[in-house]
């Protein structure tokens, strides 16, 4: 009986150890899970891969593991975030997020600013392909400037022309700018609306053109012919890219990990990489970010 009692106590002790070990493992696993972030992004390319490599490296030093989930369709990352399939995403600007929330009854929010892919005003070219002008002030009175004709890009282009000092608008911020919202046009410029994909092809026949980066790059437009580059300000805020999260992310179990992601992303190291890996096409856009160089003239 005494032996059975001892064995019984020993067995109970052993069972207790196993239970405690299991609890410890579960606790450790839970902690590890909270320090792992699944980040939704679009397919990595030469410009974005170095940036995310650095973000992942810096986050690891802070005890956070970054796992990237790549998407090929712009409609997927927000849906995945809404369904808790990822923890955050980083692929869109404020305007896109606001439109998506409205169309999908979503309540995703911007957790932090990341970068801006500025649109640019490029000089028209002569018959030899050389830029006609080297600064905005050189554009003659009565000249033609081509801009994208879709509502979103045209509004953005008109705000750019205002920032360059060529026109004034009767709207501001996130209000849509249209040709009839031009309140002042001192050089009597003829602003020609064309399909966004055709703006680059108009360079030989206009004084200047506002061209989206995707079309400028695909058409091999020389960025040295830039007359003016969009800056981060109240009128361009809606085009700033963001890290998006669930509405209640600050009270979630991943809150600390997300804060680390924001901290390392908004570092000088990453800011410099955003510019260098994109050949200065993209710029860091968070408050206090340092833009190391610019194509503005």
How many residues comprise the chain? 297
> Helix axis angle, 49-61 relative to 268-277, nearest 10°?
170
pLDDT per position in the chain (297 positions), as tens?
444 443 444 444 444 444 444 444 444 445 568 999 999 999 999 999 999 999 999 999 999 999 999 999 998 999 999 999 999 999 999 999 999 999 999 999 999 999 999 999 999 999 999 999 999 999 999 999 999 999 999 999 999 999 999 999 999 999 999 999 999 999 999 999 999 999 999 999 999 999 999 999 999 999 999 999 999 999 999 999 999 999 999 999 999 999 999 999 999 999 999 999 999 999 999 999 998 865 444
* Three-state DSSP class for residue 207: coil
Q: How far apart are CA 16 and CA 24, in angstroms?
A: 12
- By DSSP bridging, strand 144-148 and strand 190-194 are parallel
- By DSSP bridging, strand 168-169 and strand 241-245 are unpaired
Q: How far apart are CA 81 and CA 97, in angstroms?
A: 12
Q: How far apart are CA 174 and CA 33, in angstroms?
A: 39
Helices H, strands E: what count in the chain?
A: 8, 14
What is the model's pLDDT at position 32? 63
- What tokens were used for 133? 């002008």
What is the model's pLDDT at position 292? 80
The model's pTM is 0.83
**Domains of the chain: residue spans and CATH:** 35-117+237-284 (3.40.190.10), 120-229 (3.40.190.10)
């Amino acid at each position: 009986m005494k032996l059975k009692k001892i064995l019984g106590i020993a067995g109970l002790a052993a069972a207790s150890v196993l239970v405690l070990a299991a609890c410890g493992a579960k606790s450790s696993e839970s902690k590890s899970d909270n320090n792992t972030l699944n980040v939704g992004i679009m397919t990595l390319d030469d410009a974005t891969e170095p940036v995310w490599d650095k973000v992942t490296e810096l986050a690891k030093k802070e005890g956070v593991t970054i796992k990237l989930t790549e998407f090929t369709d712009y409609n997927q990352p927000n849906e995945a975030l809404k369904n808790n399939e990822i923890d955050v995403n980083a692929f869109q600007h404020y305007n896109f997020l606001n439109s998506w929330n409205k169309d999908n009854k979503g309540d995703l929010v911007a957790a932090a600013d990341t970068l801006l892919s500025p649109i640019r005003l490029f000089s028209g070219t002569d018959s030899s392909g050389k830029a006609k002008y080297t600064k905005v002030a050189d554009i003659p009175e009565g000249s033609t400037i081509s801009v994208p004709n879709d509502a979103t890009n045209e509004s953005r282009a008109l705000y750019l022309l205002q920032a360059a000092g060529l026109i004034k608008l009767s709207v501001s911020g996130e209000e849509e700018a249209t040709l009839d919202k031009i309140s002042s046009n001192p050089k009597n410029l003829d602003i020609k609306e064309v399909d966004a994909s055709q703006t680059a092809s108009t360079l030989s026949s206009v004084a200047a053109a506002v061209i989206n980066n995707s079309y400028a790059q695909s058409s091999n437009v020389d960025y040295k012919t830039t007359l003016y580059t969009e800056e981060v300000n109240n009128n361009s805020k809606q085009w700033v890219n963001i890290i998006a999260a669930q509405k209640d992310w600050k009270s979630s179990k991943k809150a600390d990990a997300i804060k680390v992601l924001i901290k390392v992303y908004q570092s000088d190291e990453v800011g410099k990489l955003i510019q260098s890996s994109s050949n200065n096409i993209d710029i860091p856009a968070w408050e206090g970010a340092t833009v190391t160089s610019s194509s503005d003239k």
